[in-house]
Amino acid sequence: MEKLVIEGMRRLEGDIKVQGSKNSSLPILAATVVTGKSCILHNCPVLCDTSAAIRILNYLGCKAVRAGHTVITDSGDLKRYDIPDFLMREMRSSIVFLGAILSRFKKAEMSSPGGCEIGLRPIDLHLSSLQALGVRTTESDGRIYCDAPDGLHGAKITLSFPSVGATENIILAAVAAKGTTTVINAAREPEISDLADFLNGCGADIKGAGGGTVVIEGKQDFFDYEHTIIPDRIIASTLLVSAAVTGGDITLNSVNTEHLMPVLPYFEKSGCVLFTNKDTLRIKAPRRLLSPGLIRTMPYPGFPTDSQAGIMAMATCAGGTSVIIENIFESRYKHVPELIRMGAKITVQNTVAVVEGVSALHSAVTQATDLRGGAALVTAALAAEGKTSVRNIRHIDRGCERLEDMLTQLGGKVKREKDTQKQSGED
Ligand code: EPZ
């Protein structure tokens, strides 16, 4: 096991390139299964989750190799339509392979993804949408079995919730189906648009991605394609929080400022000054932050749930009281007890967290409980007096490409160390 040890009270400054988006890389890696052609993907972050997706591709019979931040795939020789339990367990979001495998094989089999630290993560919207496209689905012994003996056909699908994963699975299943598919109340996240841009580049016909209604015309012929994955807007917001809590002055390079529109007003409200142009963003933080006020997490273009833990870390050391309402996941406050160990003043009632800013946080031994909560503990530690440890950093490594290197490059003192202490609950 490993931990990060963070020396606090160091002002961050300088500039840094933002990594490619984890949540765009995963559906696009799955999408390479659909085309049967070869693809070159640039700006693909080196993460546990993207490595897991590459392992799945190779298991299915695709050739997928990584060269730095470029992944080269060729799905011409796809041999398998099942994902074994040991690969599904590595990454629950492998469910996004379902639609892609169905497009190629008209059948698919994988373990039910199950829940995770932030919630139950049901897939009812995925399955009901695939059924509308002509797929028969059954679940037994923790496995999902899908087949479409007559092939997949277009349909009109209304999502009761703009689920990101369900929208991605519909697009991946409809892109080679017979006829037209219309998705009403589709997710509007930038990662949906990036997936559509990739597939359209391969020869698909997807219109309206990024809006609430997406129309997919099924196609049969696809081409080789080269694509650059969009920057990671959540990592960008994590770096903005890191600058904000240290009174820092940093510039993010190769960032899409449009994708950050839902979060930027809260940094300005906290007294930060922002200088934006197309793909760079500079943040100059005040010595003492003001409260970011009331934050409600919502589907895009609302405030992203993945940035909730980060903005909470910022609120813990801002003047005044902030209120956070988590509307997307039912247990996404596991970072709260860990922040309280560092001296934060937070009370939680159901989905509402009230954060009373303190003058300074102090060092503590903390545990990452999930990816975004863990990253938030590291950012809070940057503002704490003394040395803070964040344990269980395998959660953080799922989505942050060496967070310690990013923060060190900006003047932070963050070290990755072996964690020899017994984990809580270990006998
Ligand atoms: C994606 O998860 C992201 N993961 C999540 O990021 C992100 O938090 C989430 O979208 C929301 O933006 C990836 O892209 C790999 P949803 P996803 O389906 O697709 C309910 C991170 O830290 N729901 O939009 O699973 C669900 O319970 C991760 O990078 C159903 O009820 O999110 C939740 O309450 C965490 N039935 C809400 O919708 C379904 O069939 C949002 O889920 C599907 C979802």
The CA distance from 180 to 346, in Å, is 49
Q: Which of 247, 287, 283, 251 is nearest to 268 (CA)?
A: 283
- Tell me how far the alpha carbon of residue 329 lies from the centroid of ligand 1, in angstroms: 8
- The number of C-alpha atoms within 13 Å of 184 and in the hemisphere containing its C-beta is 5
163 lines ligand 1 (CB under 6 A): yes
306 lines ligand 1 (CB under 6 A): yes
**What is the structure's pLDDT at 191?**
98
Contact between residue 414 and residue 403 where contact means Cβ atoms under 8 Å apart: yes
Residue 116 has pLDDT above 80, yes or no: yes
Judged by DSSP in three states, 191 sits in helix
124 lines ligand 1 (CB under 6 A): yes
Residue 288 has pLDDT above 50, yes or no: yes
43 lines ligand 1 (CB under 6 A): no
119 lines ligand 1 (CB under 6 A): yes
Contact between residue 38 and residue 73 where contact means Cβ atoms under 8 Å apart: yes
Contact between residue 227 and residue 69 where contact means Cβ atoms under 8 Å apart: no
Contact between residue 284 and residue 267 where contact means Cβ atoms under 8 Å apart: no
Residue 420 has pLDDT above 90, yes or no: no
What is the mean predicted confidence (pLDDT) over 302-307?
Answer: 98
Contact between residue 194 and residue 171 where contact means Cβ atoms under 8 Å apart: no
**What is the structure's pLDDT at 424?**
59
**What is the structure's pLDDT at 114?**
82
Task: Determine what percent of the chain is predicted with pLDDT higher than 70.
Answer: 99
Q: DSSP secondary-structure letter at 119?
A: B
Write down the mean pLDDT value for the chain: 96
**What is the structure's pLDDT at 421?**
80
Which domains can be identified in the chain, with CATH numbers? 2-19+232-418 (3.65.10.10), 22-228 (3.65.10.10)
The CA distance from 359 to 67, in Å, is 46
**What is the structure's pLDDT at 163?**
98
Residue 426 has pLDDT above 60, yes or no: no
Strands 352-356 and 321-325: antiparallel
- Tell me how far the alpha carbon of residue 159 lies from the centroid of ligand 1, in angstroms: 13
288 Cβ contact partners less than 8 Å away, ≥ 6 residues apart: 247, 271, 318, 319
- Tell me how far the alpha carbon of residue 40 lies from the centroid of ligand 1, in angstroms: 27
Which tokens is 388 given?
Answer: 């803070």
Contact between residue 24 and residue 230 where contact means Cβ atoms under 8 Å apart: yes
Number of Cβ within a 10 Å radius of residue 27? 27
The CA distance from 383 to 217, in Å, is 51
Residue 200 has pLDDT above 50, yes or no: yes
Contact between residue 357 and residue 339 where contact means Cβ atoms under 8 Å apart: no
Of 39, 44, 48, 116, which is the active-site residue? 116
Q: DSSP secondary-structure letter at 320?
A: S
- Tell me how far the alpha carbon of residue 121 lies from the centroid of ligand 1, in angstroms: 7
Best of 93, 125, 157, 161 for a ligand 1 pocket test (most atoms within 8 Å of beta carbon): 161
Residue 210 has pLDDT above 60, yes or no: yes
The CA distance from 414 to 427, in Å, is 30
Name the pLDDT band for 423 (thresholds 50, 70, 90). Answer: low
Query: CA Rg, the chain, in Å?
Result: 21
Residue 90 has pLDDT above 90, yes or no: no
The tens digit of pLDDT for each residue in 345-357 reads 999 999 999 999 9
199 lines ligand 1 (CB under 6 A): no
396 lines ligand 1 (CB under 6 A): no
The CA distance from 201 to 227, in Å, is 8
Residue 134 has pLDDT above 60, yes or no: yes
Residue 282 exposed, middle or buried by CB count within 10 Å (0-12, 13-18, 19+): middle
- Tell me how far the alpha carbon of residue 174 lies from the centroid of ligand 1, in angstroms: 20
Q: Is 116 a catalytic residue?
A: yes
- Tell me how far the alpha carbon of residue 305 lies from the centroid of ligand 1, in angstroms: 9
Using DSSP, how many helices (H) and how many strands (E) does the chain show?
14, 26
- The number of C-alpha atoms within 13 Å of 301 and in the hemisphere containing its C-beta is 12
Amino acid at 220: Q
End-to-end CA distance of the chain: 16
Which ligand 1 atom is the nearest neighbour of the CA of 371? Answer: 22
Q: Which of 374, 379, 368 is nearest to 285 (CA)?
A: 379
Residue 380 has pLDDT above 90, yes or no: yes
122 lines ligand 1 (CB under 6 A): yes
In which region does residue 14 sit, left (phi positive, over 0), alpha (psi from -120 to 50) or beta (all else)?
left
Residue 50 exposed, middle or buried by CB count within 10 Å (0-12, 13-18, 19+): buried
329 lines ligand 1 (CB under 6 A): yes
305 lines ligand 1 (CB under 6 A): yes
Q: DSSP secondary-structure letter at 340?
A: H
Task: Determine what percent of the chain is predicted with pLDDT higher than 90.
Answer: 95
What is the mean predicted confidence (pLDDT) over 309-332?
Answer: 97
CA-to-CA dists, residue 400 to 18, 374, 407, 421, angstroms: 10, 10, 11, 24
67 Cβ contact partners less than 8 Å away, ≥ 6 residues apart: none
The CA distance from 274 to 403, in Å, is 23
The CA distance from 284 to 267, in Å, is 10
Which ligand 1 atom is the nearest neighbour of the CA of 127? Answer: 40
Q: Which residue's CA lies nearest to atom 7 of ligand 1?
A: 306
Q: Which residue's CA lies nearest to atom 28 of ligand 1?
A: 306
Best of 23, 28, 139 for a ligand 1 pocket test (most atoms within 8 Å of beta carbon): 23
Which tokens is 345 given?
Answer: 């003043």
Residue 427 has pLDDT above 60, yes or no: no
- Tell me how far the alpha carbon of residue 183 lies from the centroid of ligand 1, in angstroms: 17
Amino acid at 177: A
- Tell me how far the alpha carbon of residue 411 lies from the centroid of ligand 1, in angstroms: 34
Which ligand 1 atom is the nearest neighbour of the CA of 165? Answer: 19
Contact between residue 227 and residue 37 where contact means Cβ atoms under 8 Å apart: no
Contact between residue 191 and residue 147 where contact means Cβ atoms under 8 Å apart: no
